[in-house]
Chain A
Amino acid sequence: MAEIRVTERNGEARTISADSGRPLMEALRDANFNLQGTCGGAMSCGTCHVYIKQDWNDKLPAKSEDEQMMLEAIADLVEVRPTSRLSCQIELSDALSGIEVEIAPEV
């Protein structure tokens, strides 16, 4: 199990837990944070965008070129930071338990 500390769009904090091995996007989508994850992990919609807290961001595998391209594509519509990630590309694990994420604005 992985614990996820979430900051919602309205600034409220909520902690959820989800099974290791699932994408972070699914855990957030299913916990009703109004995060869509429309494309199901294909990196074609940009609706699962989150900001990762810096300390945790350093522990994540690097972004793929496709993830980077999707983040660049939404940059005209929402703020994209160095710690921006598509949550569909982050696989939860016991090692990531406690990860702190902020739901980014809707595109």
Chain B
Amino acid sequence: MTSNPTPINLKMLLESQTLKRAPFPVPVGWYFIDYSENLKAGELRNISVFDQEWVLFRSESGDKVGVTDPYCPHLGAHIGHGGKVCGDNVRCPFHHWEYDTDGMCKAIPYAKVMPPITKKQAILRTLPTVEKYGMIWSWFHPLCEAPHWEMPYIPEIEDATGYTGSRRGSWTANTCIQEIAENGVDVAHLKFLHNAPGIPPVSAAYDGNQMRLDIGNGYIVGDMFGPGLNVMRFNQKDPVTEKVITATMISYSVPVTHDTTQMNMSFRHVDYAEGSPELAFTKKQIDHMIGAAEGEESAGFESVDFIVWNNKRYRPNPLLCDGDGPIFPFRNWFKRFYVDADLSKI
């Protein structure tokens, strides 16, 4: 009698063929659209985010910003090609129907009777949009639900005094936000991809739409407010002054498509006196966050993470080992931002 050979686990070997780069829809959340200074009063332009085109405009008075679906609910003209801002409204070029920043139809210049639905609700899809942190932010929900949470106060960027820093960065990653953010709990990669001296301890706590991440017992403390905003504070003791100095990375990523992400970051620090050792130290901290700082062995995200993000595929059934971080709790939390928006059900 011959013994049966051990059957091969084919799933282990072949699942790769069915993997997608980012098998998720655009997640729900508040997202950065642009810096406020980049949209002048009365300006209108087309933008591509959340897997589609939108019309971004600012009222002539300057105090209202709208982000609308491009296609007029009347006869489908693209409002961003030939449309214009009229007062607080955006006007379709085709028949001059006007919409406010909430998508309410405010004028049909030739109709004797406004269609009743125009009194009841918005007829043009718009995204709830606010200006905060000197930026324009829009709330994306695939079924047009109102915002589920407010954006937080961030002293480093909202406190008029005490903080400074004009460094900003913007990068495109060919993957989705979940995959990018997963690196926060994947502490083992810090040693091997970033050449950190060791694998730091990590803890992640989840509360509604928020996640608090602590890497290295307070060395990096990150607060994520939904997929589109992450505030990471790097706390390090300066060996010269013996002080713990905090530098802050405010990260605001936007899903351009379901599997392409525009990553944006602002770097802020305490407004130390020019020429002080604290200022020198905190500037070095920020260099470290972005890329390898001079004289350092380890590497910031810019230099090394992209090669992985841009080429990986999401493994729904990853083979994890001891020493890997708390990846599954992170994935379970992130599921809350995905909404089934099967339009055939509407």
Q: What residues of chain A have their CB less than 8 Å away from a CB belonging to chain B?
A: 39, 42-46, 66, 69-70, 72-74, 77, 107
CB–CB A43/B113 < 8 A? no
Q: Is B114 an interface residue (CB 8 A)?
A: yes
Q: Which residue in B112, B114, B116, B119 is a CB contact (below 8 Å) of A43?
A: B116
Which residues 73-123 of B sit at the A interface, judged by CB distance below 8 A?
Answer: 112-117, 119-120
CB–CB A77/B112 < 8 A? yes
Within 8 Å CB of A43, what residues of B? 116
CB–CB B116/A69 < 8 A? yes
Within 8 Å CB of B114, what residues of A? 73
Within 8 Å CB of B116, what residues of A? 43-44, 66, 69-70, 72-73
CB–CB A107/B113 < 8 A? yes
CB–CB B117/A44 < 8 A? yes
Closest chain B residue to A67, Cβ basis:
B116
Q: What residues of chain B have their CB less than 8 Å away from a CB belonging to chain A?
A: 112-117, 119-120
Nearest-Cβ distance from residue A47 to partner chain B, whole angstroms: 9
Closest chain B residue to A76, Cβ basis:
B113
Q: How far is the CA of A77 from the CA of B112 in the complex (A)?
A: 8
CB–CB B113/A74 < 8 A? yes
Within 8 Å CB of A70, what residues of B? 115-116
Closest chain B residue to A106, Cβ basis:
B112
Q: Which residue in A44, A77, A107 is a CB contact (below 8 Å) of B115?
A: A44
Q: How far is the CA of A45 from the CA of B114 in the complex (A)?
A: 8
Q: How far is the CA of A3 from the CA of B120 in the complex (A)?
A: 37
Q: How far is the CA of A44 from the CA of B112 in the complex (A)?
A: 12
Within 8 Å CB of A46, what residues of B? 113
Q: How far is the CA of A30 from the CA of B113 in the complex (A)?
A: 24
Q: How far is the CA of A69 from the CA of B117 in the complex (A)?
A: 9
CB–CB A39/B115 < 8 A? yes
Q: How far is the CA of A34 from the CA of B1 in the complex (A)?
A: 92
Q: How far is the CA of A30 from the CA of B112 in the complex (A)?
A: 24
Q: A44-B115, A70-B116, A107-B112 are known contacts; what are 10 more A-B pairs with Cβ within 8 Å?
A: A42-B115, A45-B113, A66-B116, A66-B117, A69-B116, A69-B119, A70-B115, A73-B115, A77-B112, A77-B113
Nearest-Cβ distance from residue A77 to partner chain B, whole angstroms: 6
Within 8 Å CB of A42, what residues of B? 115
Nearest-Cβ distance from residue B76 to partner chain A, whole angstroms: 15
Nearest-Cβ distance from residue B108 to partner chain A, whole angstroms: 10
Within 8 Å CB of A73, what residues of B? 113-116
Closest chain A residue to B111, Cβ basis:
A45
Within 8 Å CB of B117, what residues of A? 44, 66
Within 8 Å CB of B115, what residues of A? 39, 42, 44-45, 70, 73
List 19 A-B pairs, Cβ < 8 Å: A39-B115, A42-B115, A43-B116, A44-B115, A44-B116, A46-B113, A66-B116, A66-B117, A69-B116, A69-B119, A70-B115, A70-B116, A73-B113, A73-B114, A73-B115, A73-B116, A74-B113, A107-B112, A107-B113
Q: Would you list the 9 A-B pairs with minimal beta carbon distance, nearest first?
A: A44-B115, A69-B116, A73-B113, A70-B116, A73-B116, A74-B113, A46-B113, A107-B112, A77-B112
